Each structure stands twice: as C-alpha cells, then as structure tokens.
C-alpha cells in the first residue's frame, strides 16, 4: 500500500461492498486501527487510483479480530431439481499456484518473537505491583482456631463495660434510697469513670 508501507503486514482487506462502495479493513492491533481511521481519506483515494475507478467511497475499520457484518441475504435463483450438485472446494483441491503463493508468503513472513527485555520488564512490573498490593492490603494475622474473632472480642468487651456501668448505677441507687429512709445525708459513692463505648 503506497499510503503507508507498513500497513499491508498489519491490515487485512476483509470485504468490499460494491452496492455501497464500502471497503472493510481489519487491523491486527488497536494501534493500527487508530492509524487506519486517521488516513481513511488517503486510503479511499489510493484504492480508487489503483483501480482506475471511483468504486471505493468509504472505509470501515473493523475491531481487531472482528468478522465483517453479515450482508443481507440476496435472492438466489432456484435451481432445477435435476441439476448436478456442485462439488465443495477444499484446501487440498486448491490450485498449485495457490499452494506456491502460500508457501512463498510463509517463507517471507517473519515469525512473531517476544523481546526478552520486554518480558523481563513485565515480570518486574508485576512483582512490584504485587509488593505494593501486599503493603496496601496486608494479610490479616492468623487467628487461632479456639480464639474468638476480633468482632466477638469487641462485643464481649462492650458487654463487660455495660455490666459494670449497670452494677455501679444499682449500687448508687440503693445507697441513695437507704439515705432517704434514714433521713440523713449519706455520702453516696461516686461511680468510677468508665470508658465510653461509642
């Protein structure tokens, strides 16, 4: 493709719809999809110039790996019942030229390789993110099987404080009642300050 020399290795022409003049292109990555959307006008002009007609009017960029939308079903002529069945073409039935072209393409196409430095950087980044996660959300300390859960410990502590407060109030009420019955001013013991449970 004269528009961008690197595009033919990363973009596949999936379909052409002559009734609408739409050309469907499928990139192999989101980056090439963005590049295609930026130069659709140049692609239309280059396609029409190479074909010698104005057949291509628009370009549809498909998501990477997506199949083209199904075309509306067209009416097919009804065949006569005595017509012989058409044999289905298979891979093995392809012409020798197809097999030669496929072998030449496979011999020239570079194998996909993963850069070891990129793989190591990804591993380092994953380990760093895992360490940050452990620091932000540390594992809770293991609790013995027979020990109560932290929420149960808090509830038991609040119950004990409430019981102590109730007992102090009862003692004070009894002392005040006894002083009233005796008609004297008795020294009423003041309850000790309890920690707030709120």
Q: What is the DSSP letter of 144?
A: -
How many separate domains does the chain show?
Answer: 2
> Could you say which of 49, 68, 87 is where a domain stops?
68
Rounded percentage of the chain residues whose pLDDT exceeds 90? 9
Q: Mean pLDDT throughout 75-90?
A: 63
Beta strands 58-61 and 11-17, pairing class = unpaired
> Could you say which of 11, 34, 68 is where a domain stops?
68
Whether residue 130 lies inside any domain: the answer is no
> Could you say which of 33, 68, 103 is where a domain stops?
68
CA–CA distance, 174 with 186 (Å, rounded to integer): 11
Residue 156: which domain range? 148-191
The length of the chain in residues reads 198
Using N-to-C axis directions, what is the helix angle for 40-51 and 30-38, rounded to 10°? 70
Asked which of 36-40, 66-70, 110-114, 178-182 is least confident by mean pLDDT, the reply is 66-70
For 34-45, what is each residue's pLDDT tens digit? 888 888 888 888
What beta strand segments (E) does the chain contain?
11-17, 22-27, 58-61
- Say whether pLDDT at 172 is over 60: yes
Does the reported pTM lie above 0.85? no
């Amino acid at each position: 493709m004269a528009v961008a020399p690197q595009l033919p290795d990363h973009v596949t022409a999936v379909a052409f719809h002559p009734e609408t003049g739409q050309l469907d292109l499928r990139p192999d990555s989101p980056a090439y999809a963005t590049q295609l959307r930026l130069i659709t006008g140049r692609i239309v002009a280059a396609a029409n110039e190479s074909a010698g007609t104005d057949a291509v009017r628009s370009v549809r960029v498909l998501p990477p790996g997506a199949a083209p939308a199904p075309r509306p079903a067209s009416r097919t002529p009804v065949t006569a019942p005595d017509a012989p069945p058409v044999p289905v073409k298979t891979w093995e039935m392809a012409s020798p030229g197809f097999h030669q072209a496929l072998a030449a393409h496979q011999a020239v196409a570079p194998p996909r390789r993963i850069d070891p430095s990129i793989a190591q950087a990804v591993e380092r980044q994953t380990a760093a993110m895992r360490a940050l996660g452990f620091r932000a959300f540390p594992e809770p300390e293991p609790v013995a099987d027979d020990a109560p859960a932290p929420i149960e410990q808090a509830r038991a502590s609040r119950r004990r404080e409430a019981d102590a407060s109730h007992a102090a109030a009862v003692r004070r009420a009894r002392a005040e009642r006894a002083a009233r019955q005796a008609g004297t001013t008795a020294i009423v013991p003041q309850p000790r300050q309890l920690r707030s449970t709120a």
